[in-house]
């Protein structure tokens, strides 16, 4: 029984990070209407900036994360301005090619600046504590709590403020939003900023229990795709729920089936869910 | 209030509208008649800033609005209710209406007041305020689109074929509501194929054919015009 609870908690940790990354991807999907392949690169850059702030400038982990999420948010906005905005009237395939281009560029840049080596990020929250017979590290608790707080803040922002609601409105009908006096340029930039922040936050939180390397975004972004497909493209509750479903399935699968197969579980899950419900769990209507 | 002077719009090599001249005076209902594809919607998109004219200029209350972005044009007081309604399908009716007041988002009290006025005009929207906009019937969606446009407290409202796809009884109600909105002080530019209903509430009209205005005149003149009667009124 202890093993089960331990694994459920691990699933919660992993799922929290997946949800953060998938949320950014699903928000940007509302603007671009294609999955942004470069999102995984933002995740990777986020981890590196936090790492560099800690090792080179000696910043505290928390401050390093703050610097990282703001920087990656701005990189994300820059990407929208110089790559996607000029392509706004072109075909989806051009967006996809551009997104892959940005991905390759950022990865090559990471190789150039930080090299190909695996880096270890040290957290000041490595303490181990016992709660109800479970052995937890402070870092994992930090991941879960921070992710949930971030999601609640995002939810309140989207639901309770005009600026947040304009993001949802633009995703549902871009011209409709424009005709209501919403500045769609500003909304697009804001959405990319939030997506960058969420990616950097997810990466910085999970790096101390994983490793930092140029291709660290690959598997995460593939899984984030699976999550937003499972959850329904563009759906916000779908991204959160999908993230946790995947996190739990992986950690349970790793324990009771084989840890060698933990990464394949995401894709098996994808096949099963797409077979049963091809539109995803929180599928949108025709409109 | 609004005047289009020699406006032409091109999509690539294709000229959608050519040398359009339209005058709308404050307080009027002006109707644009014409078949599908004659250029009515293009005219509307151009006034709202979604298309840019290749030649000509558009003036609103004395100043040119051609270089403004769509959101600035809404702020200036022109709102458009597009033909396909462009609602936010997964938002509730009330959330859709609130988005209509986006340009006034800091004036909470005023928004509440306008919301009450819209609910008074379309009681059905109050009844269904918590339902998703996408779940409404066609007529209700059209009311919501008009209500949402009213939330921005426009001086001039562009209505693109509000009667399209609606049952005759609903169409009648719709035109009554439009007249009501006009009497409450909003100038209206209306695009319609339902010429009879539109001309009976309008002050004047323009008839479009293949991107040009071929006939213009007061409602009376258009009703009396033999060609217009044959082509659009069918009597």
Q: What is the pLDDT of residues B10-53, one digit of tens each?
A: 988 888 999 999 999 999 999 999 888 889 999 999 999 999 99
Confidence of residue B133 (pLDDT cuts 50, 70, 90): very high
Query: What is the C-alpha separation between B215 and B221, in angstroms, rounded?
Result: 10
What is the domain range of residue B67? Answer: 1-77+155-168+186-235
Nearest to B102 among A162, A168, A287 (CB): A162
Cross-chain residue pair A182–B91, CB shorter than 8 Å: no
Q: Sign of dihedral through CA atoms A24, A263, A64, A143? A: positive
Interchain contact B105–A (C-beta under 8 A): yes
Which of A58, A32, A52, A28 is CA-nearest to residue A40?
A28
Residue B177 within a domain? no
Eight-state DSSP code of residue A89 = T
Number of domains into which chain B is organized: 2
Chain A closest-CA separation from residue B104 CA (Å): 10
Confidence of residue A30 (pLDDT cuts 50, 70, 90): confident
Q: Identify the three-state secondary structure at position A137.
A: strand
Eight-state DSSP code of residue A279 = T
Overall average pLDDT of the A241-251 stretch: 92
Overall average pLDDT of the B58-87 stretch: 93
Cross-chain residue pair A176–B75, CB shorter than 8 Å: no
pLDDT computed for residue A178 by the predictor: 92
Model confidence at B135: pLDDT above 70 = yes
Cross-chain residue pair B69–A175, CB shorter than 8 Å: no
Nearest to A178 among B50, B87, B88 (CB): B50
Interchain contact B79–A (C-beta under 8 A): yes
B38, B44 in Cβ contact below 8 A? no
* One domain, residues B43 and B129: no
pLDDT computed for residue A162 by the predictor: 93
* One domain, residues B208 and B231: yes
* One domain, residues B200 and B216: yes
Residue B109 within a domain? yes
Domain ranges of chain A: 15-215
Confidence of residue A177 (pLDDT cuts 50, 70, 90): very high
pLDDT computed for residue B143 by the predictor: 93
Model confidence at A281: pLDDT above 80 = no
Q: For helices A2-32 and A236-256, what crossing angle results, to 10°?
A: 150
* One domain, residues B163 and B233: yes
Q: With pLDDT > 70 as the criterion, what percentage of chain A qualifies?
A: 98
* One domain, residues B53 and B164: yes
pLDDT computed for residue B126 by the predictor: 95
Interchain contact B153–A (C-beta under 8 A): no
Query: What is the C-alpha separation between B170 and B177, in angstroms, rounded?
Result: 10
Model confidence at A24: pLDDT above 80 = yes
Predicted ipTM of the assembly: 0.88
Model confidence at A287: pLDDT above 50 = no
* One domain, residues B6 and B98: no
**A284 burial via Cβ count (<10 Å: 0-12, 13-18, 19+):** middle
Of residues A89 and A38, which shows the higher confidence score? A38
pLDDT computed for residue A118 by the predictor: 94
Which of B31, B50, B148 is CA-nearest to residue B100?
B148
Cross-chain residue pair B88–A285, CB shorter than 8 Å: no
Overall average pLDDT of the A121-140 stretch: 87
Chain A closest-CA separation from residue B154 CA (Å): 11
pLDDT computed for residue A285 by the predictor: 45
Query: What is the C-alpha separation between A232 and B235, in angstroms, rounded?
Result: 52
Query: Which of B73, B78, B83, B90 to mutate to test binding with chain A, by most A CBs within 10 Å of its CB?
Result: B90
């Amino acid at each position: 029984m202890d093993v089960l609870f331990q694994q459920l908690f691990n699933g919660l940790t992993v799922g929290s990070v997946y949800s953060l990354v998938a949320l950014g991807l699903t928000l940007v999907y509302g603007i671009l209407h294609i999955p942004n392949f470069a999102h995984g690169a933002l995740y990777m850059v986020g981890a590196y900036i936090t790492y560099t702030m800690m090792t080179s400038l000696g910043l505290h982990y928390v401050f390093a994360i703050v610097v990282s999420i703001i920087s990656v948010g701005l990189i994300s906005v820059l990407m929208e301005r110089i790559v996607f905005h000029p392509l706004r009237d072109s075909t989806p395939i051009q967006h996809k090619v551009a997104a892959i281009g940005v991905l390759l560029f950022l990865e090559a840049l990471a190789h150039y600046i930080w090299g190909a080596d695996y880096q270890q990020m040290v957290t000041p929250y490595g303490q181990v504590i016992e709660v109800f017979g479970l052995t937890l590290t402070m870092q994992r608790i930090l991941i879960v709590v921070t992710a949930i707080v971030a999601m609640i803040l995002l939810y309140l922002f989207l639901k309770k403020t005009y600026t947040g609601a304009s993001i949802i409105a633009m995703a549902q009908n871009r011209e409709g939003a424009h005709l209501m006096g919403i500045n769609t340029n500003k909304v697009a930039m804001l959405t990319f900023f939030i997506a960058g922040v969420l990616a950097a936050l997810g990466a910085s939180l999970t790096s101390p229990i994983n490793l930092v390397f140029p291709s660290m975004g690959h598997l995460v972004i593939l899984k984030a795709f699976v999550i937003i497909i499972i959850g329904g493209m563009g759906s916000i509750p779908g991204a959160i729920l999908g993230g946790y479903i995947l996190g739990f399935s992986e950690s349970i699968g790793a324990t009771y089936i084989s840890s060698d197969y933990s990464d394949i579980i995401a894709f098996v899950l994808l096949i099963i869910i797409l077979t049963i419900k091809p539109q995803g769990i929180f599928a949108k209507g025709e409109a | 209030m609004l005047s289009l002077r020699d406006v032409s719009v091109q999509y690539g090599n294709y000229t959608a509208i050519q040398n359009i001249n339209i005058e709308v005076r404050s307080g009027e209902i002006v109707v644009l008649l014409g078949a599908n594809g004659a250029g009515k919607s293009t005219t509307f998109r151009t006034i709202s800033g979604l298309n840019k004219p290749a030649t000509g200029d558009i003036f609103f209350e004395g100043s040119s609005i051609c270089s403004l972005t769509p959101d600035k044009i809404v702020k200036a007081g022109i709102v458009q209710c597009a033909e396909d309604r462009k609602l936010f399908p997964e938002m509730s009716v009330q959330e859709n209406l609130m988005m209509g007041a986006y340009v006034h988002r800091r004036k909470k009290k005023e928004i509440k007041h306008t919301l009450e006025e819209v609910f008074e005009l379309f009681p059905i929207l109050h009844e269904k305020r918590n339902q998703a906009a996408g779940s409404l019937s066609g007529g209700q969606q059209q009311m919501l689109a008009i209500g949402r446009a009213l939330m921005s407290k426009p001086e001039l409202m562009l209505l693109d074929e509000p009667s399209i796809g609606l049952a005759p009884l609903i169409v009648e109600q719709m035109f009554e509501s439009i007249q009501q909105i006009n009497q409450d002080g909003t100038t209206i530019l209306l695009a319609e194929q339902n010429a009879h209903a539109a001309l009976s509430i309008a002050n004047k009209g323009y008839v479009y054919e293949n991107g040009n205005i071929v006939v213009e005149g007061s409602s009376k003149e258009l009703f009396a015009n033999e060609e217009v009667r044959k082509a659009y009124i069918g009597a």
